[in-house]
Each structure stands twice: as C-alpha cells, then as structure tokens.
Amino acid sequence: MRRCIGICCGLLALAAARADEILDQPLALSNRQPLVQIYNLPAARSGAVLAMDQTTARLGFDVANNFASAQRGSESIFLDGESRRIELGANRGIGNGWEVGFSLPWISYSGGSLDSFIEQWHSTFGLPDGGRPDYRRNQLRFQYQRAGTSELNFTNAESGIGDLQLNAAYSLASATDSAVALAAAINLPTGDADKLTGAEATNISLSLAATHYGVFGLPLTATANIGSMWLDRGAVLGDRQKSSVWFGAAEIGWAVADGWRLKAQLAAHTAFYSSELRELGADSVQLLLGGSVRLAPRWWLDIAAGEDIAVDTAPDITLQIALKASL
C-alpha cells in the first residue's frame, strides 16, 4: 500500500512539474510587420523538450496595427493597416530527447479598428504618433517605391493560409533547474505572396534555447533563444531581401502565485532587407509583456502585448491571446 501511495504521489509530482514546464514556456509572439510576417519568423521556445508521448496543442490569435511613413534616398514606404493571425499548432515528444511539431497560420489584412485607440494612447502618454492624425483612420495601404517605380502596392483586404512550419527540437541537457535544446524549423511555401500571407519561398532556421528555473533562488524563470534563419529568394521585394537573418529573445517569468506567471520579453532580429529605410533595413527589437494562467490541469491561457521599442521596425502594437492544452 505504501508503495502504491508513493508511486501515485510521484506521478502527481511529475504531472505538476510538466504542467509548470508548459506554464513557464516563453511568450510565442514574433514580429507581425507585414513584410516580416511573410517569412514566418520562429517564436521563442523553452529549453525543455516534451517527454515521450506528451502532446501539446496551441490555438493563438493576434492582431497587429501598423503605421509607418518614410522616404530616404530613392526609396519610400507607407505602411498603414492591421493584420490578424489565427495559428494552430501541436508538438509531441517522441522519446530519446526528441520533440516534433507543426504550426499553420491563417492571416488576414484589413483597415482594422485600432487606430483611434492607439492615437488616444499616444496622446495620453505623450508618445510620438508618427503622423497618424494626418491620414484617414482604419485604411489599408502597404506601399513601397524605389527610383520612382512601385514595387509593392497592397490596398485590398486579403486573407489566406500562411506558410506551414515544421519543427523539431533535441534536448542537449536537462536537470531539475535547467534545460537546453537545439531546435530547427522549415517553412514550406503554402502562403501566397500576392496576399502577403507568405513569401513563396522555403526557409530554414536553427536555434538554441536555454531555460533556467529558480533564478537566484527566487520564483523566477529565465529563458534565452538565439538562432539564424536562411532565406530562399522570395516573391516580395526579392531583390532587396537578405539571404539570412539572426534572431533571439530573452524572457523573465515570475511565478506570482500557483498557476500564474507574469512575463517580460525582449525579442529581436536583424533586418530582412537591404534598404536605407529604417522600416526595412534596420534591426528590430520588440518589448513583449504578458502572462500565463493555468485554467485547468490540462489547459493554459497566454496573453501578450508587443511594442516596437526599435521604432518603425515592428507594428506599433501587437495583441495576442493563445489557448494551450496538454493532450
């Protein structure tokens, strides 16, 4: 009897540990600027790999509001509009330290409805508005010109499937207080360049993820990611596109209570394009703030908001909500 009780207690402790691993996963939100989103940049991940036969699923929804207008040299750009993204994904542990998975987004573009809110936010806190009040609210216009020639003129609402991303991760190290994994992903060109749901190119990424639990003996979890993405020539501004980019993220999560986490993350990547324009040719940094809550033993909810602290290199604001489950 004592042995059975001990086994049951051990299984419950293991289930709780695995639940906390999911709760401590970093915010999965990358740059949704339309000319970056088409490359399906991998989001930050945990250094922990799923155990054998453990499966997780995720359904995420985010909305990003873009506004930028600039001219430099022979180039000019105007980005005004909103994107919405619904993403379904799943991952499964297959044993021997391996995890495999996929994600598939549905992306739509429209004039949106957040312009008024963002203008009021900027006004209340004295933030720069980038000239927003000079233009009609809730319009959709993504344009790029070079040497007097229009190379992008996107003004009609569109939606469609984005690029299918297949991913795998291998555990390099795992202990009670830390985990390190090597991750790889390939984006298959299932999106449509004319709808800005993909670049119609195959891209491959490789990254390293590390997580440390109980930082300084406090209820804090730190996660860091660094990686590189190799880009095939895409169908959107292909002659401006770079052949590779670096990306990374650093997050700290605070266990404020059982089943609750508050999270702050810096997410960055190098430029996808060779351009004098900051909107295309500058490295991007976003600040992500949010949290995670355990709704039930096998269900979790993530909420996040992103701000472009490297101004004009990412959407003005991105909001995300995601439901996760252990199957």
pLDDT-based confidence at 64, cuts 50/70/90? Answer: very high
Separation of alpha carbons 263 and 211, rounded Å = 14
Q: What is the pLDDT of residue 187?
A: 98
> Residues 105-125: what's their mean pLDDT?
75
Separation of alpha carbons 219 and 238, rounded Å = 46
Separation of alpha carbons 273 and 205, rounded Å = 17
Q: Tell the residue number behind the tokens 């000319």, with chain if given.
A: 35
> Residues 198-218: what's their mean pLDDT?
97
Query: Which residues neighbour 178 within 8 Å (Cβ) at sequence distance 6 or greater?
Result: 47, 210, 211, 212, 213
Q: What is the pLDDT of residue 113?
A: 73
Q: What is the pLDDT of residue 115?
A: 60
pLDDT-based confidence at 20, cuts 50/70/90? Answer: confident
Tell me: the pLDDT tens digits for 166-191? Answer: 999 999 999 999 999 999 999 999 99
Separation of alpha carbons 301 and 73, rounded Å = 46
Q: Tell the residue number behind the tokens 């472009």, with chain if given.
A: 308
Tell me: the pLDDT tens digits for 234-259? Answer: 999 999 999 999 999 999 999 999 99
Q: What is the DSSP string of 174-235?
A: EETTEEEEEEEEEEE--S-GGGTS--SS-EEEEEEEEEEESGGGSSEEEEEEEEEEEE---S
The second-level CATH assignment, the architecture, of 12-326 is Beta Barrel (2.40)
Tell me 237's DSSP state. S
Residue 49 predicted with pLDDT over 60: yes
Helix (H) or strand (E) holding 263: strand 260-269
Residue 116 predicted with pLDDT over 90: no
Q: Tell the residue number behind the tokens 């720069």, with chain if given.
A: 128
pLDDT-based confidence at 14, cuts 50/70/90? Answer: very low
Q: Which amino acid is at 36?
A: V
Query: Which alpha helices (H) appear in the chain, and where do they start and end?
Result: 2-23, 34-37, 115-125, 278-281
CA-based end-to-end distance of the chain: 30
Q: Among residues 131, 124, 149, 147, which one has the least CA distance to residue 79?
A: 131
Tokens linked to 287: 């600040």
Separation of alpha carbons 150 and 155, rounded Å = 13
Residue 4 predicted with pLDDT over 50: no
**Domain map (residue ranges) of the chain:** 12-326
Helix, strand, coil percentages, rounded to 5, for the chain: 15, 55, 30
Higher pLDDT, 192 or 128: 192
